[in-house]
Amino acid sequence: MSREQLSFVRSHMLPEAPPPTAETGAIKWLRENLFSSPANTLLTLVSAYVIFKIVMGAAPWFINGIWDSPSLTACREILGGKVGGCFAVLTERWNQLLFGFKYPPELYWRPTLAFVLLFVAVAPVLFIKYLPRKLLVFTGLYPFIAFWLIWGGPIATPVFALLGVLVGIFVYFRLLRTSAGVAVIAGFLAALVFWILSGYLKAPFDGFLAMEAVASRDMGGFMINLMLGVVCVSLSLPIGILLALGRQSSMPIIKWICVVFIEFIRGVPLITLLFVANVVLAYFLPPGTNFDLILRVIIMITMFSSAYIAEVIRGGLAALPRGQYEAADSLGLDYAQSMQLIILPQALKISIPGIVNVAVGLFKDTTLVSVISMFDIVGMIRGPILASPEWNGVYWEVFGFACVLFFITCYGISQYSQWLERQLQTDHR
C-alpha cells in the first residue's frame, strides 16, 4: 500500500451537499410555521378548512354576479335560482352612490376634477421632504379652487375669500413685531372686515366667470363623506394643536376656555351635536335665515374632532421629558420659537398614531350624517336605493361596496402614517 492510500486525512474538499429537502424552501417554512407541533398542526388544518369553506361559499356569489340588469327581480330571473350577487345595482346607481341623486349629471366632472386636484394639493404636505416647497402655494389655493369647482357660482366668491385671507396674513405679519397675540387678533379682524366689505363690492363681478351653482342640499354620495372628512381633519389639526397648547397655558382665562371646550365636546356624543346642527339651530336663528347645512355639519364635526386631537397632542406634550422644555428656555428662545422649533416637532411625532386614529375614526363617523337626512353614501343606500321598487332587498352588494370604499381610504391613511413614522424615526431602538 502506498502512503497516500494509507492516509486517513481527506486530501480534497467534498462538494457542498444540498440541505435535506425537509430543511429548504417552502417545506421548511411550512414545517416551522404551520406544522411545528401537534397542536399547531391541528390549528392549521382547522383554519384551512374554515378558509376553504368561506371561499367556496363566497366564490359563486362573486363569479355568478350579475353586472347588467335593470332591477333585482330581473337579476334573479337571470340567475335562475343560482347563488350570485346582483352587482348591477352598483353599475346602475354608480353616479348616485358617488355624487348623490341631485347633483347635475353634466357637472360630475367638477367634483371629479376637485378630487384629482386634492392629491396634487396634499402631496406637497404629505411628502414635504421629496417635493419642492413651492408646490405648497397650490395647497394654499386648493380650498378656494375646490369650493368653486364643487359649489360653482361666480369666481368672485372664492377670490374675495382668498383676498380676505391674504389681507389677514398681511396684517398679521405687519404687527408680528409688536406682539404675536395682538397680531393674530388683528389679522383675524382685518380678514373679517374685508369679507363684510367685499359683500358689497362683489355684486358687479357676479356674472364674471360664473359656473352653474349647485346648492348644498343637492350634494350627496361618497362625495359628502370625502368632503367632510378632508375639511374636518385638516381644520381640526391646527385647532387641536392650539387647544392642546391653550390647555397647558399659564394664562388662566385661556386655559379655562380650552379646558371647558374640550371637556364639554368630549362629553357629548357626535350624533347629538349633529342633531343640534340640523334641528335645534333652526329655532335659534331668525326665521328665513338659511345657514348652509353642510357648513353647520362641518363646524360641529370639526369641533368634535379638534377636542379629541387636542387630547392626543396633550399626550404627546406630556410625554416629552422636562429637559426639552428647559433646554429650549436655556437657549433663550421665546414661547413661540421654543414651541415651533423644539417642542411641537417632537410632540407631534409622538402623537402621529393617535392623530391618525382620530382621523380615521372621524372619516368613518361622517356616515352619521345620514341620520339627519343628508344623503351621504350610507344615506343613499338606506334611503333612495333600498326604497326604490327596483332594488328593494339588495343589501350585501351595496353595503359591501361602501365598506370597500371606506376600507381603501382608511387603509391608505394608515399605511401613510406608518410610512411617516418610519421616516421620522430618529432614535436607535
Partner 1 sequence: MKRTVFLGTLTVAGLAAGASAAATLDDVKARGKLNCGVTTGLVGFAAPDANGVWEGFDVAVCRAVAAAVLGDASAVEFVPTTGKTRFTALASGEIDMLARNTTWTFSRDTDLKFDFVGVNYYDGQGFLVPKSLGVSSAKELDGATVCIQTGTTTELNLADFFRANNISYEPVPIETNAEGQQQYLAGACDTYTTDASGLASTRAAFENPGDHVILPEIISKEPLGPLVRHGDNDWGDIVRWTLNALISAEELGVTSANVAELGSAPGGNPEINRLLGTEGDLGAMVGLDNDWAKRAIAAVGNYGEVFEKNIGEKTPIGLARGLNAQWTDGGILYSPPFR
Binding residues for partner 1, per CB under 8 A? 72-73, 76, 92-93, 96, 101-102, 217, 275, 278-280, 282-283, 287, 370-373, 375, 379, 382-390, 392-393, 395
Which of residues 390 and 397 has its CB atom nearest to partner 1 in the complex? 390
Which of residues 34 and 215 has its CB atom nearest to partner 1 in the complex? 215
Question: Least distance in Å: CB of 59 to partner 1?
Answer: 20
Sequential DSSP letters for 103-170:
S-GGGTHHHHHHHHHHHHHHHHHHTTTTS-GGGHHHHHHHHHHHHHHHH-B-THHHHHHHHHHHHHHH
Question: Least distance in Å: CB of 78 to partner 1?
Answer: 13
Q: How many whole angstroms separate alpha carbon 191 and alpha carbon 170?
A: 10
Which of residues 28 and 382 has its CB atom nearest to partner 1 in the complex? 382
Which of residues 224 and 385 has its CB atom nearest to partner 1 in the complex? 385
Which of residues 193 and 386 has its CB atom nearest to partner 1 in the complex? 386
Question: Least distance in Å: CB of 292 to partner 1?
Answer: 13
Question: Least distance in Å: CB of 103 to partner 1?
Answer: 8
Rg of the chain in Å (alpha carbons): 30
Which of residues 153 and 383 has its CB atom nearest to partner 1 in the complex? 383
In contact, 84 and 107? CB cutoff 8 Å: no
Q: How many whole angstroms separate alpha carbon 382 and alpha carbon 399?
A: 9
Q: How many whole angstroms separate alpha carbon 136 and alpha carbon 286?
A: 41
Which of residues 187 and 221 has its CB atom nearest to partner 1 in the complex? 221
Number of neighbours of residue 305 by Cβ within 10 angstroms: 27
Name the amino acid, one letter, at 32.
E
CA atoms within a 13 Å half-sphere pointing along the CA-CB vector of 26: 0
Q: Which three cell numbers stand for residue 330?
A: 436655556
Question: Least distance in Å: CB of 307 to partner 1?
Answer: 23
- Distance between first and last Cα of the chain: 65
Question: Least distance in Å: CB of 391 to partner 1?
Answer: 9
Which of residues 148 and 391 has its CB atom nearest to partner 1 in the complex? 391
Question: Least distance in Å: CB of 85 to partner 1?
Answer: 13
Q: How many whole angstroms separate alpha carbon 61 and alpha carbon 114?
A: 35
Question: Least distance in Å: CB of 213 to partner 1?
Answer: 15
User: Which burial class, exposed, middle or buried, applies to 281 when counting CB atoms under 10 A from its CB (0-12, 13-18, 19+)?
Assistant: middle
